[in-house]
Amino acid sequence: MDQAETLLKIMKEKQSKGTTKSHAGPRIITISSGKGGVGKTNVSTNLAINMAKLGKEVVVMDADLGLANVNVMLGIIPKYNLYNVLKGQKTISEVITDTPEGIKIIAGASGFSQLADLNHEQKANFVRDIEKLDSVDVVFIDTGAGISDNVLSFVVAADEVIIVTTPEPTAITDAYGIIKTIASKKIESNIKLIVNRVQSENEANKVAERVINIANQFLGVKVENLGFIYEDSIVSKSVIKQRPFFEVDPKSKASLCITDICLRLEQLDVPHQRKKGLAGFFSSFLNYYKEKKHNELEYE
Ligand SMILES: Nc1ncnc2c1ncn2[C@@H]1O[C@H](COP(=O)(O)OP(=O)(O)O)[C@@H](O)[C@H]1O
Ligand SMILES: [Mg+2]
């Protein structure tokens, strides 16, 4: 049986047991990296599309400031973004965009640090609205690179974080850097690694082993190997066409790797570890900015 069939089988079994949708809300996965341009947006978008094709309801939230590129990759121009929802100017259903690929996207925003100042009523309204999304199966949050607040607030709030790296030494060093920061901010991080743009499985395993061993040895952090993606010319060709490569050719080298990763993610799904839905997620998210403001005031 090939990987795609195995995946479909696992998902059908889960659906018949009624375990894919839990009252705990969607599985929330933040995708990040130390170095920029390593493939985060391609990974989030194509993983999301693969899952949607297997019958899951998937949302991709674009949290990369300035480089709002999930929509660019899909050739879509959203009018409003998450910030408008947090400010109470728009409802979540007004900012969510359906795509022909079967996933939904929410555009990124700036100015989240001001959210520490939201009053009780604004927060309550936001939570009531965002809970409407709790029937979704998976939310991927595509962040920027590095250790800015905009990245860390999403990383800290999510149940799981996927770090993407390439085999380049600079990318590996930066991946270690962000894992170190995550480890210092949050004790129970569930960190997973994807090695992108590899020439061989052997190369991927060497890179993954190195990151996993160093994180374990020096930080006492367990990083899980989620898999790898081959260097494949279909990726940049698809980006230029503004069509995700999984859609262009689901059997391409890169697409088959996405399916492998999808399978491993399904196998690693542990619903009871989840927080309390999107309301719980955003409560941790807002808390990040509240604590930051609190600490700044203390040092003044
Ligand atoms: N597996 C791959 N094979 C070939 N090129 C890739 C691969 N992954 C990424 N790229 C190239 O890297 C570029 C940046 O990818 P992107 O997903 O936008 O990275 P990030 O979101 O981390 O900045 C892509 O436009 C593509 O040209
Ligand atoms: Mg990106």
> pLDDT tens, 55-96?
999 999 988 766 557 877 888 878 888 888 888 899 999 999
Q: Whose structure tokens read 């380049």?
A: 168
Q: How many Å apart are CA 14 and CA 22, to the nearest integer?
A: 11
Please report the pLDDT score of residue 169 as a whole number.
97
Query: 143 CB under 6 A from ligand 1?
Result: no
User: For residue 131, how far is its CA from the centre of ligand 1 (angstroms)?
Assistant: 33
Q: Which residues of 50-71 are buried (b: 16+ CB within 10 A; e: fewer)?
A: bbbbbebbbbbbbbbbeebbbb
Query: 39 CB under 6 A from ligand 1?
Result: yes
For residue 67, give both structure tokens: 């480089």
The answer to whether 130 and 106 have CB atoms below 8 angstroms apart is: no
Q: Which helix (H) or strand (E) holds 41?
A: helix 40-53
Please report the pLDDT score of residue 76 as a whole number.
81
The answer to whether 39 and 164 have CB atoms below 8 angstroms apart is: yes
Please report the pLDDT score of residue 213 as a whole number.
97
The full set of domains in the chain, from first to last, is 24-288 (3.40.50.300)
- Could you report the per-residue pLDDT of 239-290, keeping only the tens digit for each? 999 999 999 999 999 999 999 999 999 988 765 556 678 888 888 888 888 8
Please report the pLDDT score of residue 139 as a whole number.
94
Ion ligand 2 residue ranges (Cβ < 5 Å): 40-41, 64, 69
Please report the pLDDT score of residue 87 as a whole number.
83
**Listed ranges 30-44, 84-98, 121-135; the one with the highest mean pLDDT:** 30-44
Higher pLDDT: 228 or 5? It is: 228
Angle formed at CA 242 by CA 245 and CA 106, multiple of 5 degrees: 95
User: For residue 277, how far is its CA from the centre of ligand 2 (angstroms)?
Assistant: 25
Q: How many Å apart are CA 244 and CA 117, to the nearest integer?
A: 38
